[in-house]
Amino acid sequence: MFESFRVETKQRTGLVDITDDIVACIRTSKVKHGLACVYCPHTTAAITINENCDPSVQTDITNILSKLIPQNAGYAHSEGNADAHAKAAVIGSSRMLFIEDGKPVLGRWQGVFLCEFDGPRTREVRVKICKE
Ligand code: ZN
């Protein structure tokens, strides 16, 4: 079994801080020490861990990805969202977190983010929590 929650994204691209949702999933599980796998079951969204203090970092990450992988560049995929698929592939679908004392172990400036690359949409995040 796994916990899950939904995220309503508001823009085509952007990072959404889901750290509090992960904390809530771990609390619900009652696991004090173990691992949490945070997974996104979508082909044009991804999961990452990065700075959640200064929001300009999130803006820079999305802008850098958009420069590297432009929206329209003669792609083969005909849906018009080939860039979003490629960005999601680069970032990846999941991240693993340690759980200690019932909380995710993160650096002082770190948060967990859903990366939206083809929004706005309703996204699902799944969290598999295992006891140590
Ligand atoms: Zn597509």
The alpha carbon of 12 and the centre of ligand 1 are apart by a number of angstroms equal to 13
pTM (2 decimals)? 0.96
Question: Domains in the chain, ordered, with CATH?
Answer: 3-131 (2.60.120.460)
The alpha carbon of 83 and the centre of ligand 1 are apart by a number of angstroms equal to 9
The alpha carbon of 29 and the centre of ligand 1 are apart by a number of angstroms equal to 34
Provide the pLDDT for residue 1.
85
For the segment 65-108, what is each residue's pLDDT rounded down to a tens digit?
A: 999 999 999 999 999 999 999 999 999 999 999 999 999 999 99
Instruction: List strands edge to edge, sheet with 14-17.
Output: 14-17, 110-116, 45-51
The alpha carbon of 1 and the centre of ligand 1 are apart by a number of angstroms equal to 29
For the segment 54-67, what is each residue's pLDDT rounded down to a tens digit?
A: 999 999 999 999 99
Q: How far is Cα 99 from Cα 102, in angstroms, rounded to an integer?
A: 6
Contacts of 31 (CB under 8 A, 6+ apart): 99, 102, 129, 130, 131
Provide the pLDDT for residue 46.
98
The alpha carbon of 84 and the centre of ligand 1 are apart by a number of angstroms equal to 8
